[in-house]
Amino acid sequence: MKKLAALLLSFLTLQAFAQSPDLKAIAARKADSMFKQTVAWRRDFHEHPELANREVRTAGIVADYLKSLGMDVKTGIATTGVVAVLKGSHPGPVVALRSELDALPVTERTPVPFASKVTTTYNGQTVGVMHACGHDSHMAMLLTAATILSSMKSELHGTVKFIFQPAEEGAPVGEKGGAEEMIKEGVLENPKVDVIFAQHIFSYMPAGTITYRPRGAMASVDDMKIIIKGKTSHGAEPWFSVDPIVTSAQIVVNLQTIVSRNINLKENPAVVTVAAINGGTRHNIIPEKVEMLGTLRAFTDADEQTLISRVRKIVNSAADAMGATAEVYIPFSVHYPVTYNDPSLTSQMLPTLQQTAGTDNVILGAPMTVSEDMSYFQQKVPGLDVFLGGMPKGSDPKTVPSNHSADFFIDESVFPLGVKTLCNLTLDYMNEKK
């Protein structure tokens, strides 16, 4: 009797499995059929970009559309953030999918008909505004994925939380924002997020490819401000001065030894860059002060601390040797942790990426020294951030305009792949955890 009952249960399970729809196949068809809508969203966002914590129009469009899908939508999170919750009909994990909202203070040069003509005031200057990093594409793909997943509500084993985040590029001076602020305001709670996925499009990675990396995928970032104070004098009588320019020159040269001599480059790369030096007003006056700005990048917490401590030591020692004084501010205004892809989650979802894009199109990438505040989410819950190739076929990755440039350009034909990636990561994770 027990054997018969077990056979009957097995039969009913197989029958239910056979009758259950192939959600990923359905998602793929819908992603292809919604291509024009995805492009339309992307071009609208691209033509009307908004800077960090100013994404009012953008957030309004996102929130209104998600409400039209019947989701529970919250707005105004971390200033302009939007969060929508899609509750599936069956119990299961809470999967978060994240996109950014903000654009950059860049004057666009691309010849496309939907190029941005927006200007605004940023740090006291009139600047152009452009989606020069792909956030417009991320929003459009996530809205499409939200449409598809909401149509599968009755089949979903779990909950999807759609996070549209402001100020990924950093909040304006004197303001707070971004992922760190969203977390403080409870974006990962109620319901509590179990895992988070995101993707980032890059203009120099071939269209049709997905690049991934477990552990440190993108670097931590700490900006720095260094102030060297000396003693001014006539340029013809330098012996009366304590020259902050000569001191700064020695500091710049000495800082280059940190990466070459203090970081084990066999394990991880690192970057120390001085990007701005300001001091002096006239050819024959040695100034009293020089200010330097720069950035530090690392892939482990230990290396990050090594960079910071060595910068402080080198700056203060050089200034002391020259009779000058130094002030070192690290971070000065920006800090993002390492974008850390949970290795277990990455291994678990790799077959999904390969099935979605094709095994030959899924590439284990090198660490990238750019940074992302997706890292704050990944400090709280396991996360995976993958890179979507957006370079038109036949282009040279060494010559195409990079992200953050005025000529940044991506191939929109990759949008269905990005949508399928978001949907399939969600569906497969839910299926494994139900």
Torsion of CA 422, 427, 429, 433, to 10 degrees: 160
**pLDDT, mean of residues 256-262:** 98
168, 222, 243, 304: the catalytic one is 168
3-state secondary structure of 131: coil
Neighbours of 5 (CB within 10 A): 9
pLDDT digits (tens, 9 = 90+) for 359-417: 999 999 999 999 999 999 999 999 999 999 999 999 999 999 999 999 999 999 999 99
**Do residues 158 and 91 lie in contact, with contact meaning Cβ atoms separated by under 8 Å?**
yes
Q: pLDDT exceeding 70 applies to what percent of the chain?
A: 95
Tell me, what's the pLDDT at 13? 42
Segments of the chain assigned to CATH 3.30.70.360: 220-335
- The pTM of the full predicted model, rounded to 2 decimals, is 0.92
pLDDT over 70 at 12, yes or no: no
The correct answer on CATH 3.40.50.1100 for the domain covering 21-218+338-433 is: no
Is the pLDDT score of 114 beyond 50?
yes
Inter-residue contact 431 to 157 (CB < 8 Å): yes
Task: Say what the pLDDT of residue 174 is.
Answer: 87
Angle between helices 135-150 and 35-47 (to 10 degrees): 140
How would residue 20 be classed by pLDDT, with cut points 50, 70 and 90?
low
Give the pair of three-digit tokens for residue 41.
Answer: 């969203």
How do residues 43-101 score in pLDDT, each as one tens digit?
999 999 999 999 999 999 999 999 999 999 999 999 999 999 999 999 999 999 999 99
How high is the pLDDT of residue 142? 99
Mean pLDDT of the chain, nearest integer: 95
Question: 16 pLDDT band (50/70/90 cuts)?
Answer: very low
Cα within 13 Å of Cα(89), Cβ side: 7
Record the tokens describing residue 148, joined without a space: 């598809």
Query: Is 102 designated active site?
Result: yes
Q: What is the CATH class of 220-335?
A: alpha beta
Question: pLDDT tens digit string along 179-194?
Answer: 999 999 999 999 999 9
pLDDT at 173: 83
Q: Which residues of the chain does CATH 3.40.630.10 include?
A: 21-218+338-433
Give the pLDDT of residue 8. Answer: 42
State the pLDDT confidence band at 434, using cuts at 50, 70 and 90: confident
Q: Of 55, 100, 102, 194, which residue is the catalytic one?
A: 102
Of the candidate ranges 170-174, 319-323, 400-404, the one whose mean pLDDT is the lowest: 170-174
Residue 195's DSSP bridge partners are 95
